[in-house]
Structure 1
Amino acid sequence: MSFGKMYQRLLQNHFYLVQCIQTASLMTTGDCLAQLAIEKRTFKQYDFRRTAEFAFLGGVLVGPAVSAWYILLQRQFGHERNLRTTLCKMCCDQLLFAPMFLVVFITSLELIHDSKPGHIKQAFKNTYMDILLTNWKVWPAVQMVNFYVIPLQYQVLFVQAVAVFWNTYLSWKTQN
């Protein structure tokens, strides 16, 4: 059996589990790139806990949330691949989901670090608007392609493949 057929079978039988594992893997990759390529850390300086935190959030938060969100968008706006449906999905994604999900993501990351409420508030003040504005520079175009071209079962994979670079940015931005 080819890898593609095996992947499709796994998606059919274990949709959320596959999304969680692939998202955790790709978020791990993003954090590794942030630490090694952007921050220029050596192996001795490498923060393995930070990578584990990104993997954990990818597997238990990002993967399930994004998967459920795309299913909800599909139910709400249908399966049609036309400009109107694609624009509706993208606008909902970027004006509703993205701003709220960034709040959840930043809060979750701070809670993993056992941050106090004042520190969480400061983290929002320091990072939220920059991340949200950068999000709006990157993701509307990606989501237009995603919702117009990519079948539902591959949308999380497509987004997470693009998100390797986004996760690199998020890791760097939230950790520095």
Structure 2
Amino acid sequence: MAMPWRVYQMMMSKHPWKIQILTAGTLVGCSDVVSQQLIERRGFANHDTKRTIRMAAVGLIYVGPVLGVWYKVLDRIIVGRDKTAAFKKMLLDQFALAPCFLACFLAVASAFGGHSSEEIWLKLKKDYKDTLISNYYIWPAVQVLNFYFVPLVYRLPLIQVVALMWNTYLSWMANKI
């Protein structure tokens, strides 16, 4: 385990942007596999591989870039890693980014799934509120710890690892009929 971690760290130091985005895409795709197999109990014979690829693409094209830029901006707006700075960053993250990010995630994932704009709007009306409330149960505490203890370059990958289960939930919400 030490060797893969060292390789990952080396790659992060050489290509942080690319590796963060690849990590996000990979883990969002893995979350869809978990969603289909553990939550939806599809079994591998009925696994929707195209859906998993679409969700990985959402991670690559949307989640990774948006969160990667957001964490950099947040560090410029609120300087420092003390408890007060971490708390302020969490507040901005949860009340400025999260509502918009989640709505866009559901819309992007639905659009990638071939849904019409009317279907996407109905999905948002139906699922957005529950998704945002669930977000507030989990992420404020995680983000305070993230902003307090984790260096900027590792925030997105760490959050994506923690988010494996959250993204499983999001994949289920984005793809349920």
Q: Compute the TM-score of the two structures, normalised by the length of structure 1.
A: 0.94
> What SS does structure 2 have at the residue aligned with 1:40?
coil
1:44 matched residue in structure 2: 45
Consecutive unaligned residues of structure 2, counting only runs of 5 or more, are none
1:108 matched residue in structure 2: 108
1:17 matched residue in structure 2: 18
1:94 aligns to 2:126 (yes or no): no
- Root-mean-square deviation over aligned CA pairs: 1.4
Runs of 4 or more off by more than 2 Å in structure 1?
A: 1-9
> What SS does structure 1 have at the residue aligned with 2:65?
helix
In 1: Cα distance, 2:55 partner to 2:22 partner: 12
2:69 matched residue in structure 1: 68
1:127 maps to a residue whose letter is: D
1:59 matched residue in structure 2: 60
In 2: Cα distance, 1:164 partner to 1:91 partner: 22
1:32 matched residue in structure 2: 33
In 2: Cα distance, 1:69 partner to 1:85 partner: 15
Cα displacement string for residues 133-176 of structure 1 (whole angstroms, at most 9, x for unaligned residues): 00010000100110001111111111001100001111112222
Q: 2:54 touches 2:113 (CA, 8 Å); kept in 1?
A: no
Aligned pairs, number: 175
1:70 maps to a residue whose letter is: Y
Indicate how the Cα distance of structure 1 residues 44 and 2 shifts in structure 2: closer, same or farther if over 3 A, else same. Answer: closer
Consecutive unaligned residues of structure 1, counting only runs of 5 or more, are none
2:149 matched residue in structure 1: 149
1:159 aligns to 2:159 (yes or no): yes
Q: 2:86 touches 2:148 (CA, 8 Å); kept in 1?
A: yes
Deviation at 1:10, TM superposition (A): 1.7
In 2: Cα distance, 1:168 partner to 1:115 partner: 20
In 1: Cα distance, 2:135 partner to 2:117 partner: 25
In 1: Cα distance, 2:113 partner to 2:160 partner: 24
Q: 2:110 touches 2:175 (CA, 8 Å); kept in 1?
A: no
> What SS does structure 1 have at the residue aligned with 2:45?
coil
Q: 2:51 touches 2:113 (CA, 8 Å); kept in 1?
A: no
